[in-house]
Structure 1
Amino acid sequence: MAETREAPSSPLHVVVFPWLAFGHIIPYLELSEQLAKRGHAVTFVSAPRNITRLRPIPENLSSRIRLVPLTLPRVEGLPDGAESTADVPPEKVELLKVAFDGLAVPFASFLAEACTGEKGVRGFGKKPDWVLVDFAHYWLPPIAEQHKVPCAFFSIFPAAFIAFAGPKTENDAAPRTTPEDLTAQPRWIPFPTPIAHRLHEAKGIIQAFRPNASGPSDIYRFWQTEQRCPLIILRSCREVEGLLCPLLADLFGKPVTPSGLLSPFDAALAAADRVVEGDKESASLMHWLNEQPARSVIYVALGSEAPLSPDDVRELALGLELAGVRFLWALRERSAALLPDGFEERVAGRGVVRVGWVPQVRVLAHGAVGAFLTHAGWSSLMESFLFGHPLVMLPLFADQNLTARAMADRAVGLEVPRDEEDGSFNRDDLATTVRRVMAVDDEGKAFARNAKELQEILWDRTKQEKYLDELVKHLLRVR
């Protein structure tokens, strides 16, 4: 159960409003719970279906977190009921942004009402002190300014991604207009860093600099939002990202306050103690893992956002088969039909393919798991490092590319080699990478040792809590 602290004499009322993707929604909820533990009131805003899909708020925090649904307008071409990026294919996310921008009017009405004060609700009977916004909310800060409520940009992306994006002033001085421009270290980062995109990645990333069906480009949304926020909150810490954290304050000319890593400690502790009960399918996975030797299984999960191409699924499957290691593969339903003929029969006994949802934290906590084949999404890495797993990295989009570079530079794992032009990979390279990371030779031991060092950073609860306490002090001081 989430611990609570003594309520402050003058609690904050914070409105929290993430972008419509669960990779954003969950960290925003984690931060909301941390604020509530410290006695502050949080109004969490999202679309109705997203709210119903949230995990339950801990009972001892439920009086301090209220969930406010705002209904998305209908948009031609957007599937009925689509309220998050998990509900639409990648090519429809632009239309989701159109619907999201349609929340400006209902949000303005909500905020106007909230600023009048709502009596009888503990902590919510005062106007909001802050609104925490995401990259897409370029229309929101002007609404908040009308009510004299400051906004803070809460970045769920690591410092590497925000530093690479850079402020508008730097980009205006040296525009990046071609994919090739994104393959070099930005000139505004004054020290050597591995963070740059491969050419095949840059061909996708450059689209963020160009207008889309919603009108503004993603980078325009980010810059317009950031410029009107007097504070940036960063889901990171100096122990993991080093000089990039303080650099952001200089680049953007405003305070940048880390929140710490917001790792799911309670879920990790419950999983490690095997307290969490699950359905029959989850139980069968745990039973299979129980039968495997310690640290012999590589867990394979590439998220629910970016789809794998048929070639990717085939080469990944055949690479796992060729590697000869035990594996547990969490595979999206739409990808299951792409598996090579006879694959599951050939790997039976040492490999399990689970189509659909997998209890990831429980799997990562299991002693049979010795490595993680991942897209290098920030949230997945935070879960993995809670248990000290080295990485095989196959980044798929956005921040994952730069995070993979940074993690490889820290020698906590390896990226799977890919073709520079088209991003393809082959089974042989994947198999070799898996074997190297899971090996018990000096290289494999070094990966495991470095991952354990990150595990120690994440489990330094005192330091992680201190980041949150410093953040709250800043919010109290500036309101």
Structure 2
Amino acid sequence: MSTPTVLVLPSPTQGHVIPMMSLSHKLVEHGCNIIFVNSDFNHERVVTSMENINNNDSSSLYSSPIKLVSIPDGLGPEHDRVNFGELCDSMLSTMPSELEKLIEDMHMKEGIKVTCIVADVYMGWALKVANKLGIKGAFFCPTSASVFVLQYNAPNLVADGILDSDGFPISESEKPLWLSSSIPGMDIESCWWLRLFDPLVEKRMFKYAIHCISHSNLTEWCLCNSTQELEPEAFTLAPKLLTPIGPLLPTTTSSLGQFWKQDMSCMTWLDQQPHCSVVYVAFGSHTLFDQRQFIELALGLELTNRPFLWVVRRDPNCTNYVSLPSEFEGCKGKIIGWAPQKMVLSHPAIACFVSHCGWNSTLEAFCNGVPLMCWPYFGDQFSNKSYVCDGLKVGMGFDSDENGLVSRGEIKAKVDQLISDEDTRSRSQKLMEKLKHSMEEGSTSSKNLSKFVTWLKE
């Protein structure tokens, strides 16, 4: 068997780059060469982050078994890449030809022959490029299996008159949507593309997602960052395509792929805190709070009278400027810009995780037996929250007041309730043990990945 050279193409957001980098490390362990393709914009962030960690020495980037390269996303430096509708339209018109050119240039100039493209399902057009160039192609799903199944079935929901051609519900109904008798009904309004704040963006994202998923006929593989044990019902709805290989967690030995430098000082601080005492608060790479909500969160954390570790993103590209209230003392807490989250969640001092419920964060909490306080912001985070709270019962959510705010009193009350809830903690621990087995050699996920590598090497 030959050594496969796999080109990995994530959707250009931190929450998609991280699991695809974890997959890349797994493939390296199985004897594959990896070319990891970010957008130019994100590639610069990754390189800068690594140089900051290594005191401006970028040599570690070039000694890595994962080759980092980039292609343009079609947007200029002045564009707001949080506008997903604009970003996706630009990617679709620019990146296919740029990807093709990259592959051909590497072959002609460096003698590198790509044997397979593994594309994020939200970059599904890349399978058409693979097909054109006569190389193998596979999908990777960085979200839950349930979210993938919903997106995969969206054309059927349009055909059945549940959604219009733009992805919006045709009629208001309180009846739940049933994709299968084996999967609990869901609120149609929880579809991820209906949680993007702007109807125009939602429409564009729905059409883009349907376009990407339409290329699934070009592959026999869709690797999913989940497990059979975690979502058995969802995997029954796409058994010939959806293959669980998760949970894929970041490696502790490498921060490759991070957009921001991780503040390791928090680990020393955690070592000084009592067992199961710290409230960890992190909302991922996209969540934005207005000043009023930010103040309530700060004062709510202080009101708990517990030690807290709070990640407040300091991104120069972020247009959301908020400041701590003057009365905030924060003497029991530590605020950092970006955390080594896998290490944080595995620390014995952590009592609970106040989270946006992104799938990566949710999986990391599951795998460490940490109960979740759910505060979803957009997209699939709302369906993830439902799964955490109503399906697995390993967390709870906050309630907003009449002004739409989660008050400081609500934050204190719910955090106190969750930390003192032994049943929820017990379920979290049992789920952790179940997922440990799914990461071991010989597990379903492990066997599936081995089968995929065998297919790559054929």
Same fold (TM over 0.5): yes
Q: Distance in 2 between matches of 1:34 and 1:221?
A: 29
Q: How far off its partner does 1:457 sit?
A: 3.1
CA RMSD in angstroms, aligned pairs only:
3.6
Could you tell me which residue of structure 1 aligns to residue 258 of structure 2?
none
Instruction: Describe the SS at the equivalent of 1:217.
Output: helix
Could you tell me which residue of structure 1 aligns to residue 120 of structure 2?
134
Q: Distance in 2 between matches of 1:182 and 1:154?
A: 33
Whether contact under 8 Å (1:39, 1:64) holds in the other structure is no
Could you tell me which residue of structure 2 aligns to residue 226 of structure 1?
216
Among residues 150, 163, 167, which one is paired with 1:176 in the alignment?
163
Per-residue CA distance 1:253-291 (angstroms, 9 max, x = gap): x422112211235459x9xxxxxxxx99643x3444333
The alpha-carbon distance between structure 1 residues 11 and 181, as it changes in their structure 2 partners (threshold 3 A), is farther
Among residues 395, 398, 411, which one is paired with 1:413 in the alignment?
395
Could you tell me which residue of structure 2 aligns to residue 96 of structure 1?
87
Q: Distance in 1 between matches of 2:236 and 2:192?
A: 27
Instruction: Describe the SS at the equivalent of 1:398.
Output: coil
Q: Distance in 2 between matches of 1:111 and 1:281?
A: 36
Could you tell me which residue of structure 2 aligns to residue 433 of structure 1?
414
Whether contact under 8 Å (1:263, 1:458) holds in the other structure is no
The alpha-carbon distance between structure 1 residues 142 and 366, as it changes in their structure 2 partners (threshold 3 A), is closer
The alpha-carbon distance between structure 1 residues 184 and 156, as it changes in their structure 2 partners (threshold 3 A), is farther
Per-residue CA distance 1:29-75 (angstroms, 9 max, x = gap): 111111111112222212245335167799899575322222344x3
Could you tell me which residue of structure 2 aligns to residue 378 of structure 1?
359
The alpha-carbon distance between structure 1 residues 453 and 474, as it changes in their structure 2 partners (threshold 3 A), is same
- Give the AA of the match of 1:157: T
The alpha-carbon distance between structure 1 residues 377 and 197, as it changes in their structure 2 partners (threshold 3 A), is farther
Among residues 452, 455, 475, which one is paired with 2:429 in the alignment?
452
Could you tell me which residue of structure 2 aligns to residue 340 of structure 1?
325
Q: Does 1:153 align with 2:123?
A: no
The alpha-carbon distance between structure 1 residues 468 and 422, as it changes in their structure 2 partners (threshold 3 A), is farther
Alignment of 1:251-290 (within 5 A): 254-264=240-250, 266-267=252-253, 282-283=264-265, 285-290=266-271
Whether contact under 8 Å (2:370, 2:428) holds in the other structure is yes
The alpha-carbon distance between structure 1 residues 108 and 192, as it changes in their structure 2 partners (threshold 3 A), is closer
Q: Distance in 1 between matches of 2:192 and 2:404?
A: 7
Whether contact under 8 Å (2:177, 2:185) holds in the other structure is no
The alpha-carbon distance between structure 1 residues 105 and 417, as it changes in their structure 2 partners (threshold 3 A), is same
Whether contact under 8 Å (2:294, 2:322) holds in the other structure is no
Unaligned runs of 5+ in 1: 1-8, 83-87, 271-278
Q: Distance in 2 between matches of 1:281 and 1:258?
A: 32
Q: How far off its partner does 1:329 sit?
A: 1.3
The alpha-carbon distance between structure 1 residues 13 and 310, as it changes in their structure 2 partners (threshold 3 A), is same
Whether contact under 8 Å (1:168, 1:223) holds in the other structure is no
Among residues 357, 369, 376, which one is paired with 1:388 in the alignment?
369
Q: Does 1:467 align with 2:445?
A: yes
Instruction: Describe the SS at the equivalent of 1:210.
Output: helix
Q: Does 1:292 align with 2:273?
A: yes
Per-residue CA distance 1:277-306 (angstroms, 9 max, x = gap): xx99643x3444333221111111111212
Q: How far off its partner does 1:331 sit?
A: 1.4
Q: How far off its partner does 1:183 sit?
A: 7.0
Could you tell me which residue of structure 2 aligns to residue 363 of structure 1?
344
Q: How far off its partner does 1:396 sit?
A: 0.8
Q: Greater relative contact order (Cα 8 A, min sep 6): structure 1 or 2?
A: 2
Alignment of 1:188-267 (within 5 A): 188-193=179-184, 195-196=186-187, 204-205=195-196, 210-211=203-204, 217-249=207-239, 254-264=240-250, 266-267=252-253
Q: Distance in 1 between matches of 2:42 and 2:339?
A: 19
Whether contact under 8 Å (1:320, 1:430) holds in the other structure is yes
Q: How far off its partner does 1:464 sit?
A: 7.5
Instruction: Describe the SS at the equivalent of 2:440.
Output: helix
The alpha-carbon distance between structure 1 residues 43 and 427, as it changes in their structure 2 partners (threshold 3 A), is same
| TM-score normalised by the chain length of structure 1 | 0.78
Q: How far off its partner does 1:171 sit?
A: 1.9
Q: Distance in 2 between matches of 1:294 and 1:138?
A: 45
Instruction: Describe the SS at the equivalent of 1:67.
Output: strand
Could you tell me which residue of structure 2 aligns to residue 108 of structure 1?
100
Instruction: Describe the SS at the equivalent of 2:236.
Output: helix
The alpha-carbon distance between structure 1 residues 336 and 115, as it changes in their structure 2 partners (threshold 3 A), is closer
Instruction: Describe the SS at the equivalent of 2:249.
Output: coil
- Give the AA of the match of 2:77: P
- Alignment length (residue pairs): 429
- Give the AA of the match of 1:446: D
The alpha-carbon distance between structure 1 residues 17 and 202, as it changes in their structure 2 partners (threshold 3 A), is closer
Could you tell me which residue of structure 2 aligns to residue 46 of structure 1?
38
Deviates more, 1:236-245 or 1:45-54: 45-54
